[in-house]
């Protein structure tokens, strides 16, 4: 884990080791949201309790059957977890605990590993309990979660599928569908960078590439060779980092060059299966790279994702792209999908030599259209050769946080999305 603020940097001095004999965070919590107990290969057992408040760990305590070093490691792990989100706490490693303690004797370093493993297990328990009691589940509409009862017009199999889909969708806080009126406007690039930036801001993010005609997310995210693991019942997404995972139709095709020629109902089935079978776990955001246009596939996605979904419509500034967007906004209103806003990509080029702006495809069309259609305008991202290079290299531009006009414009957009979602935290 990088850039962690350590509460203690001084090492285990005699005073500190006394402190770990009687740590203040020793013993079970009377109320807790997550709990785990692990016995390490050395035979010592460690037990952690976590209590949450507003998405952060507000109280953490432990016990152990081990002696001094195990107490020190357990105490430090629970201190480090305090005030962090479960995702951040799950990233606390053995090395972080050792560094915070100023080291342990070589033969006792495994105590820090046991502590970090127990902490991870407790955060997983926390997520499981949250999913089981998810209030979203009760809020779902009849198309999804009130699927407790089988409808007259559906078979047992369809009923099960609907329930499975509802269960998955209920574990996702926000769903953002990236739409565009036509191809080539940068929709996938935007989806990849948005997912990357949200994950960098500490959110748990899934990126789903449902562009059955040209799945480009695996390449853009540098996971082209990713193998999808899973069972009959569920598919495991391919991890890009601890809190960012990708699933793409591209992973399931034999060759990235194979064209996909499926009929509408089959595509609907694939999309449903994707949404229902991918084991994302608890997510703050699912970013969906949808196929361009307003045909069957965007329609399927809009219908299947259920509540808490919004659309970002990507356009370029010129007239022809703008008229496609008009259709896209109308489509969203027809399928009752709220439009988070219009995003104008490839909006002018800054001359790398003199800095002067050249409006290759005109500029401002997206903003004018947003005003005309009464939807928010999210911003303008200029043409930037670095975007192309980053995409070709399989590292989304925002991953390395470069100083470029496109990156700055992008971060502004992500910040306004986070603010609009009221999810409580801005960019770090
Ligand atoms: P879509 O998903 O809409 O078909 P892509 O995301 O695949 O579009 O982008 C099409 C091409 O445009 C890619 O080569 C991509 O690198 C490039 N591109 C996208 N946005 C920008 C930008 N702001 N500046 C420069 N090139 C861009």
Residues of the chain with pLDDT under 50: 1-14, 134-146, 422-428
What lies within 8 Å, CB to CB, of 130 at 6+ separation is 33, 282
pLDDT score, position 48: 96
For residue range 278-321, what is the model confidence (pLDDT) as tens digits?
Answer: 888 889 999 999 988 888 788 888 888 876 789 999 998 876 67
DSSP classification of residue 335: T
Q: How far apart are CA 367 and CA 317, in angstroms?
A: 9
* Distance between Cα 117 and ligand 1 center (Å): 41
**Residue with CA nearest ligand 1 atom 4:** 184
* Distance between Cα 184 and ligand 1 center (Å): 6
pLDDT score, position 345: 92
pLDDT score, position 203: 92
Axis-axis angle for helices 68-81, 94-101 (nearest 10): 110
344 lines ligand 1 (CB under 6 A): no
187 lines ligand 1 (CB under 6 A): yes
pLDDT score, position 190: 95
pLDDT score, position 11: 43
Q: How many CA atoms lie within 13 A of 86 on its CB side?
A: 26
Q: In sequence order, what are the beta bridge partners of 313?
A: 179, 342
299 lines ligand 1 (CB under 6 A): no
What domains appear along the chain, each with residue ranges and CATH number? 14-132 (3.90.1010.10), 158-420 (3.40.50.300)
Q: How far apart are CA 90 and CA 11, in angstroms?
A: 23
Contact (CB, 8 A) for 73 and 115? yes
220 lines ligand 1 (CB under 6 A): no
> Counting runs of H as helices and runs of E as strands, what totals does the chain give?
16, 14
Q: Using CB atoms within 10 A of its CB, is residue 318 exposed (0-12), middle (13-18) or buried (19+)?
A: middle
pLDDT score, position 10: 37
For residue range 28-67, what is the model confidence (pLDDT) as tens digits?
Answer: 998 888 999 999 888 999 999 999 887 789 999 999 999 8
Pocket test for ligand 1, best of 387, 394, 407 (most atoms within 8 A of CB): 387
Which residue in 54, 63, 64, 128 sits closest to 90, CA to CA?
A: 128
The DSSP annotation for 18-36 comes to HHHHS-TTBS--SS-SEEE
421 lines ligand 1 (CB under 6 A): no
pLDDT score, position 243: 93
């Amino acid at each position: 884990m990088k850039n962690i603020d350590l509460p203690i940097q001084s090492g285990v001095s005699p005073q500190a080791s006394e402190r770990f004999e009687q740590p203040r965070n020793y013993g079970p919590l009377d109320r807790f949201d997550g709990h785990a107990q692990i016995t390490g290969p050395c035979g010592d057992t460690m037990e952690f309790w976590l209590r949450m408040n507003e998405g952060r760990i507000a109280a953490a305590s432990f016990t152990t059957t081990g002696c001094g070093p195990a107490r020190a490691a357990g105490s430090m792990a629970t201190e480090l977890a305090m005030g962090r989100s479960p995702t951040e706490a799950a990233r606390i490693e053995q090395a972080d605990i050792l560094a915070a303690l100023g080291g342990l004797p070589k033969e006792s370093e495994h105590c820090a590993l046991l502590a970090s493993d127990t902490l991870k297990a407790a955060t997983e328990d926390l997520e499981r309990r949250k999913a089981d009691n998810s209030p979203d589940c009760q809020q779902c509409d009849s198309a999804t979660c009130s699927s407790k009862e089988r409808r007259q017009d559906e078979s047992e199999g369809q009923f099960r599928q609907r329930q499975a889909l509802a269960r998955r969708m209920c574990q996702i806080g926000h769903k953002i569908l990236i739409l565009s009126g036509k191809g080539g406007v940068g929709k996938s690039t935007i989806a990849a960078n948005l997912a990357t930036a949200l994950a960098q801001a500490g959110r748990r993010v899934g990126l789903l590439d449902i562009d059955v005609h040209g799945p480009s997310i695996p390449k853009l995210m540098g996971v082209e060779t990713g193998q999808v693991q899973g069972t009959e019942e569920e598919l495991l997404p391919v991890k890009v980092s601890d809190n960012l995972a990708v699933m793409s139709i591209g992973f399931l095709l034999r060759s990235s060059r194979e064209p996909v020629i499926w009929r509408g109902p089959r595509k609907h089935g694939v999309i449903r299966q994707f949404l229902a079978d991918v084991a994302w776990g608890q997510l703050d955001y699912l970013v969906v790279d949808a196929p361009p246009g307003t045909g069957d596939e965007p329609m399927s996605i809009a219908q299947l994702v259920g509540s808490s979904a919004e659309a970002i419509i990507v356009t370029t500034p010129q007239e022809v792209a703008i008229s496609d967007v008009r259709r896209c906004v109308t489509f969203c209103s027809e399928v009752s999908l709220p439009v988070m806003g219009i995003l104008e990509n490839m909006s002018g080029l800054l001359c790398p030599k003199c800095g002067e702006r050249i409006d290759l495809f005109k500029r401002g069309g997206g903003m004018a259209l947003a005003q005309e259609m009464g939807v928010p305008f999210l911003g303008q991202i200029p043409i930037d050769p670095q975007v192309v290079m980053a995409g070709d290299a399989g590292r989304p531009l925002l991953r390395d946080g470069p100083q470029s006009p496109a990156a700055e414009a992008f971060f502004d957009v992500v910040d306004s999305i986070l603010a609009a979602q009221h999810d409580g935290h801005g960019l770090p």
